Amino acid sequence: MSESILKVENISLAFGGVKALTDVSFDVPKGSVFSIIGPNGAGKTSMLNCISGRYQPNEGEIHFDGKRVTHLKPNDRADLGIGRTFQNLALFGHMTVLDNIMVGRHHLMNNNWFTGPLYWASKAQKEELEHRKEVERIIDFLEITHVRKSIAGTLSYGLRKRVELARAMALNPKLILLDEPMAGMNLEEKEDMARYILDLNEEFGVTIVMIEHDMGVVMDISHQVMVLDFGKKLICDLPDAVMDDPHVKQAYLGIEDELEEAS
């Protein structure tokens, strides 16, 4: 896992006079689970937005899979293999689970406005069947076969989170950005989601960059952890080293004794 699939170099982002990120740099090894933690307002989602292309940083560069992507649009980054889930669910609530996931295959389709009307006489039908087959494989993997024809907006929160992960997987990504994938879940749902993330990483070979507040999950499944505080990087290291750092204990866990003893 020494080869980096994502390089973030000296990224700074400001909204007016408010600095969201200040000179943040880190590398994500290919095939790893990389977690970003920190207090609320630390800049975690802003960082994911810079990587996915929703935000353009004021300074710095982002390289993905050997390519400079700093100024590429989100759809262009998706074409390169960057998938994304959101802290607030972004599903199409009126559509079925199957149709929501098929949306994730859209950028992979060769069918266009000209061949679409010739569906039965062109390769469009065969292409759609191939994409449908891949979507069904994802549905089986995430164990949502029983709701595949259900309207997404009628599902429980935990299932909707799973559907959003399925849609990100449908992009056929090399890297998936997960923004609090377990927020609002009960213990059983969290355990299931952690298992899916690990299997996605280990069996599918997808690199994961994840924001998550459940420290037990972060410590259990992450290869590396970066801590942000007020938009600045405190540390990026192995999970145990991060949790033992006195500055992390003060900024993230509110423990001051360790820092005072270390000073």
Task: Give tens-digit pLDDT for 51-74.
Answer: 999 999 999 999 999 999 999 999
Give me the percent of the chain exceeding a pLDDT of 70: 86
Same domain, 48 and 162: no
Q: What is the pLDDT of residues 85-117, one digit of tens each?
A: 887 777 888 899 998 898 877 665 555 444 555
Whether the pLDDT of residue 262 is over 70: the answer is no
Amino acid at 66: G
Beta-strand pair 207-211/175-179: parallel
Q: Taking each helix axis from N to C terminus, what angle separates 157-170 and 124-141, rounded to the nearest 10 degrees?
A: 130
Range(s) of the domain holding residue 147: 91-172
Does 2 map to a domain?
yes
State residue 163 phi and psi, 5-degree precision: -65, -40
Same domain, 125 and 208: no
Which H, E and C letters describe 160-174, residue by residue?
HHHHHHHHHHHCCCC
Q: What is the pLDDT of residues 117-168, one digit of tens each?
A: 544 455 656 667 777 888 999 999 999 999 999 999 999 888 999 999 999 9
CATH assignment of the domain containing 3: 3.40.50.300
Cα–Cα distance for residue pair 38/209, rounded to 1 Å: 14
pTM of the model as a whole: 0.86
Does 196 map to a domain?
no
Does 198 map to a domain?
no
Cα–Cα distance for residue pair 251/53, rounded to 1 Å: 28
Same domain, 147 and 209: no
Same domain, 165 and 178: no
Same domain, 61 and 185: yes
Same domain, 209 and 248: yes
Answer for the pair 176, 199: CB distance below 8 angstroms, yes or no. no
Cα–Cα distance for residue pair 154/141, rounded to 1 Å: 21
Answer for the pair 196, 142: CB distance below 8 angstroms, yes or no. yes
DSSP, residue by residue, 113-160: TTTGGGTTTSTHHHHHHHHHHHHHHHHHHTT-GGGTTSBGGGS-HHHH
Does 197 map to a domain?
no
* 124 vs 5, higher pLDDT: 5
Same domain, 234 and 180: yes
Answer for the pair 160, 85: CB distance below 8 angstroms, yes or no. no
13-17, long-range: CB within 8 Å, 24+ apart, which pairs?
Answer: 13/43, 13/46, 13/50, 13/55, 13/57, 13/58, 13/231, 14/58
Same domain, 60 and 183: yes
Does 19 map to a domain?
yes
Same domain, 28 and 158: no
Amino acid at 104: G
Does 45 map to a domain?
yes
Q: How many structural domains are present in the chain?
A: 2
| CA angle, 97 then 131 then 162, to 5° | 30
Cα–Cα distance for residue pair 147/97, rounded to 1 Å: 7
Phi-psi region of 25 (alpha: psi -120 to 50; beta: other; left: phi over 0): beta
Does 195 map to a domain?
no
Same domain, 183 and 252: yes
Q: What is the pLDDT of residues 161-212, one digit of tens each?
A: 999 999 999 888 999 999 999 988 899 999 999 999 999 999 989 999 999 9
Does 117 map to a domain?
yes
Cα–Cα distance for residue pair 148/140, rounded to 1 Å: 10
Tokens standing for residue 214: 């459940």
Cα–Cα distance for residue pair 209/224, rounded to 1 Å: 10
- The distance from CA 251 to its chain's CA centroid, rounded to whole angstroms, is 24
Same domain, 75 and 27: yes
Beta-strand pair 33-37/224-229: parallel
pLDDT for the residue 259: 39
Same domain, 142 and 157: yes
Cα–Cα distance for residue pair 12/15, rounded to 1 Å: 11
